[in-house]
């Protein structure tokens, strides 16, 4: 697996380029060098006009190019910045389709080019450790292998457009509320096996140009200038040759940042603007040029070079990394690709990702797919049916060219013939409890309709501009618990009682506690935040125009307490520290090993067709293993299956999870069609990180290869010695 072994250093920068860079650095004055290693506005770094070195323009973010800001972070008006809003990270990961990762990245790269952005601040690949993390919606998975595969596709997609991706947030940024101060403490094994493989794959397989250091501390030092994370691992062991920029305001110490590998300081203007000093300043806290000279890596850095406490070569090395990225992305010769904005193709990618990412969680008695023919009326219930999400959640906000809500999607599909009756059902508002009048309206609508569809779950909060504790899926906050807010449980129970033909569609950034009514609902769908075409994709899935093929990229626990971070570890941290006592037992690694039954398992996702697996053949060839299986679509419609290959080690003294994902393939088959599917596992798939030896080892003992349709639906198991 990508987490193991020591691949060659990044190979993307060549000798000729290095010579050119050396020449350029020689021409630069100290002031000019300092100018390029910190921000010059909220999203640019300094350039050197005299030498033709441009500013770097960065932009969020993971699922679309962010709207334009002024220097004071106020959104610009009257600019053409409404673009493609892609489904968020969870949806992309739920496709289990790396080809779509590439397509997704291509859209971002192309639109970034059109908007003259040099670096896209994404993908966000932090491990989904607790379901409460407010930023889970941006992230991909609880599993490092799935993250690695999806992120590499995404990065290549962006970078093949000549724009840099920026993988974030390095590393261990798994909670939001205290993200700037919390000191994360975990075992070395957990770090190596769970929290780092995605980043390592981004560097070595994805050849990513830039990485963003995170806000939190790691073992006592801020991650952005952690000697261990940045110098030892990222730039040392992994051979990263690109630039490490800070998160916005994550630098806290000039000397540490200079010596421990921070190449570009961004966002400290935010910190300065919020500080008492600048708020009481005569300019009323407004940003002006001076602010940028107050960055840790500005005047203070220059002074350190001047007084001899830092060698100028340290600054040169940062400038070199920045220039490498500029050279590689044609920022110095102006040969940029033009880019395309809002094309039909981009919208089609947004639709495709949503269609493949939506997960059919439950479908008892074949309630789904619905058939439009003969359907006399549909009741649509819930504020999430009409809610737009593009501008929600924090820095990942996108001004969407348009956003098809679930209700609009249904109307698009059904046309005028089938009446759709909408009832709000609940109100997204601060401290809102169940509203009996709204529930009554919903019950009446459900009772008089052939079928009812409830769109419920999480939201990006009641007010996009406030990232407070009622925001649920948003940056800077964590969810208070897993309970459905706004009295939705009462609503859902009442509607299920009124009409058993009720479909529940969950929206949002992952698990929510549905234990109060799950047994009474025949059909449940996970819709995530499915982007600008999300409403169309949802309607197509519900009515069978698209056969669902998404699989959960994270475990849905029954109860919050069942989650490993809450049961064995801590979440959130206390007194400035958080201990990841669950170690490597994150997500399904915990549920399977500790025999805790989840609501829905990692990798789970149903289809409208059925797939049959032949007996698999497993052949060992030295350290590698080849697995072959015939997959047949044994049902009556075309569909796709994600074959998931897990490895389990038998009889070992080393603590190992019950099983770990080591390969997967998504296979599309017509009804009745059959295909031979082959997997190649290398020696890395069988290794663990040994803390004493400080390296990847294979423990003695046999292994089981498990192949299945979900982590809890294994269709074949064989032992390899």
Residue with the two structure tokens 């600008």: 532
Find the shortest distance in angstroms from Cβ 42 to ligand BGC: 8
CB atoms within 10 A of CB 242: 26
Q: Cα–Cα–Cα angle for 226, 150, 156, nearest 5°?
A: 80
Q: Say how far apart CA 670 and CA 230 lie, in whole Å.
A: 48
Give the nearer residue to ligand BGC in terms of CB position, either 268 or 441.
268
Beta-sheet pairing, 378-381 with 420-423: parallel
Which C-beta is closer to ligand BGC: that of 168 or that of 252?
168
Q: Radius of gyration of the chain from Cα atoms?
A: 25
Q: Report in angstroms how near the CB of residue 665 gets to ligand BGC at its nearest.
A: 31
Nearer to ligand BGC, 145 or 248 (CB): 248
Tell me the closest approach of the beta carbon of residue 247 to ligand BGC, in angstroms: 5
Q: C-beta of 573: minimal distance to ligand BGC in Å?
A: 17
Torsion of CA 456, 513, 101, 672, to 10 degrees: -90
89 vs 508, beta carbon nearer ligand BGC? 89
Per CB under 6 A, residues contacting ligand BGC are: 60-61, 121, 168, 247-248, 395
Instruction: Tell me the C-alpha to C-alpha distance, in Å, between residue 398 and each of 129, 467, 594.
Output: 26, 16, 40
Q: What is the nearest approach in angstroms of ligand BGC to the Cβ of residue 551? A: 26
Query: How far does Cα 440 stand from its chain's mean position?
Result: 38
Minimal distance, residue 66 CB to ligand BGC, in Å: 7
> Strands (DSSP E) along 424-498, which ranges?
451-457
- In 166-265, which residue ranges form alpha helices assigned H by DSSP? 188-190, 197-204, 254-259
Helices (H), 516-668: 534-542, 564-567, 588-593
| Nearest distance, CB of residue 175 and ligand BGC, angstroms | 13
Residue closer to ligand BGC by CB (options 121, 506) is: 121
Q: Considering the complex, what minimum distance in angstroms separates the CB of residue 67 from ligand BGC?
A: 11
Q: How far is the CB of 61 from ligand BGC (least distance, A)?
A: 5
247 is catalytic: yes
User: What sign for the dihedral angle of Cα 507, 512, 514, 518?
Assistant: positive
Helices (H), 115-232: 144-159, 188-190, 197-204
**3-state class of 360 per DSSP?**
strand
Q: What are phi and psi of 123, to 5 degrees?
A: -80, 155
The H-or-E segment that residue 217 falls in is strand 217-218
Residue among 168 and 411 whose Cβ is closer to ligand BGC: 168
Residue 155 or 378: the one with the smaller Cβ distance to ligand BGC is 155
How would you classify the pairing of strands 624-633 and 617-621?
Answer: antiparallel
Tokens of 615: 């007996």
CA distance 93 to 207: 20
95 versus 395: smaller Cβ distance to ligand BGC: 395
Closest by Cα among 528, 486, 537 to 381:
486
Q: Which is nearer to ligand BGC, 32 or 60 (CB)?
A: 60
> Is residue 517 helix, strand or coil?
coil
| Strand, coil or helix: 237 | helix
Smallest gap, in angstroms, from Cβ of residue 657 to ligand BGC?
30
Q: Looking at beta carbons only, is 246 or 555 nearer to ligand BGC?
A: 246
For residue 166, what are the β-bridge partners?
210
Task: Measure the CA angle with vertex 256, ends 250 and 258; round to 5°.
Answer: 95
Q: Select 156 or 168, whichever has its Cβ closest to ligand BGC.
A: 168
Greatest Cα pair distance, the chain, in angstroms, is: 82
Q: Which residue is nearest to ligand BGC (CB)?
A: 395
Distance from C-alpha of 91 to C-alpha of 356, rounded to nearest angstrom: 8
Q: How does strand 217-218 pair with strand 221-222?
A: antiparallel
Q: What residues does 579 pair with on adjacent strands?
A: 185
Q: Which of 118, 247, 269, 562 is catalytic?
A: 247
Q: In this structure, are strands 451-457 and 378-381 parallel, antiparallel, or unpaired?
A: parallel
Q: Residue 216 CA to chain centroid, in angstroms?
A: 18
Query: What's 569's DSSP letter?
Result: S
State the catalytic residues.
Answer: 247
């Amino acid at each position: 697996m990508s987490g193991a072994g020591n691949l060659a250093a990044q190979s993307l920068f060549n000798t000729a380029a290095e010579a050119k860079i050396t020449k350029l650095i020689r021409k630069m004055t100290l002031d000019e060098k300092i100018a390029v290693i910190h921000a010059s506005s909220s999203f640019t770094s300094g350039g050197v006009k005299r030498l033709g070195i441009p500013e770097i323009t960065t932009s969020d973010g993971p699922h679309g190019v962010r709207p334009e800001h002024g220097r004071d972070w106020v959104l610009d008006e009257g600019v053409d910045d409404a673009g493609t809003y892609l489904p968020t990270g969870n949806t992309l990961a739920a496709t289990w389709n790396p080809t779509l990762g590439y397509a997704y990245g291509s859209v971002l790269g192309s639109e970034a080019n059109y908007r003259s952005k040099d670096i896209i601040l994404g993908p966000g690949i932090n491990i989904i450790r607790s379901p409460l993390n407010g930023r889970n919606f941006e992230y991909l998975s609880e599993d490092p292998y799935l993250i690695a595969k999806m992120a590499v596709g995404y990065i290549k997609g962006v970078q093949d457009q000549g724009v840099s991706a920026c993988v974030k947030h390095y590393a261990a940024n798994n909670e939001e509320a205290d993200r700037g101060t919390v000191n994360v403490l975990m075992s070395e094994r957990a770090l190596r096996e769970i929290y780092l493989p995605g980043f390592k794959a981004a560097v070595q397989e994805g050849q990513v140009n830039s990485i963003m250091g995170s806000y939190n501390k790691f073992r006592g030092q801020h991650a952005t200038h952690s000697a261990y994370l940045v110098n030892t691992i990222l730039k040392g062991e992994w051979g990263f040759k690109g630039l490490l920029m800070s998160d916005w305001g994550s630098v806290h110490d000039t000397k540490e940042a200079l010596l421990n590998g921070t190449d570009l300081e961004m966002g400290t203007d935010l910190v300065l603007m919020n500080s008492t000093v600048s708020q009481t300043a005569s300019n009323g806290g407004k940003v002006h040029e001076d602010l940028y000279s107050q960055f840790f890596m500005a005047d203070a850095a220059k002074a350190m070079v001047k007084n001899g406490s830092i060698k100028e070569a340290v600054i040169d090395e940062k400038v070199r990394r920045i220039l490498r990225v500029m050279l590689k992305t044609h920022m110095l010769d102006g040969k940029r690709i033009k880019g395309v904005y809002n094309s039909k193709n981009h919208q089609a990618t947004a639709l495709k990702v949503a269609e493949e990412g939506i997960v059919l969680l439950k479908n008892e008695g074949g309630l789904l797919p619905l058939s439009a023919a003969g359907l006399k009326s549909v009741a649509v219930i819930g504020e999430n049916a009409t809610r737009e999400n593009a501008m929600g959640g924090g820095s990942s906000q996108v001004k969407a060219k348009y956003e098809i809500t679930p209700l609009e999607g249904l109307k698009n599909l059904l046309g005028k013939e089938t009446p759709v009756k909408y009832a709000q059902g609940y109100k997204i508002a601060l401290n809102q409890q169940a509203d009996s009048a709204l529930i009554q309206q919903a019950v009446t609508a459900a009772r008089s309709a052939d079928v009812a569809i409830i769109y419920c779950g999480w939201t990006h909060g009641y007010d996009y501009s406030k990232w407070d504790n009622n925001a649920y899926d948003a940056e800077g906050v964590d969810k208070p618990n897993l309970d459905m807010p706004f009295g939705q449980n009462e609503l859902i129970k009442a509607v299920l009682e009124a009409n058993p033909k009720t479909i529940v569609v969950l929206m949002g950034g992952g698990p929510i506690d549905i234990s109060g009514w799950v047994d009474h609902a025949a059909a449940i769908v996970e819709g995530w935040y499915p982007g600008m075409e999300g409403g169309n994709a949802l309607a197509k899935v519900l009515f069978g125009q698209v056969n669902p093929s998404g699989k959960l990229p994270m475990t849905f626990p029954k109860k919050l307490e069942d989650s490993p971070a809450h049961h064995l570890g801590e979440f959130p941290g206390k007194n400035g520290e958080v201990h990841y006592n669950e170690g490597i037992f994150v997500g399904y690694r915990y549920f399977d090993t500790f025999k805790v039954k989840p609501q829905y398992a990692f990798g789970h996702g149903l289809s409208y067709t059925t797939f049959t697996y032949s007996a698999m053949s497993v052949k060992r060839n030295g350290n590698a293993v080849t697995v072959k299986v015939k997959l047949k679509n044994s049902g009556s419609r075309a569909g796709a299956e994600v074959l998931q290959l897990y490895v389990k080690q038998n009889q070992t003294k080393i603590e190992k999870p019950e099983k770990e994902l080591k390969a997967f393939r998504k296979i599309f088959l017509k009804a009745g069609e059959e295909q031979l599917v082959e997997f190649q596992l290398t020696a890395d798939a069988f290794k663990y990180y040994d803390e004493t030896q400080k390296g990847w080892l294979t423990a003695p003992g046999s292994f089981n290869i498990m192949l299945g349709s979900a982590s809890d639906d294994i269709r074949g198991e064989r032992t390899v010695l």
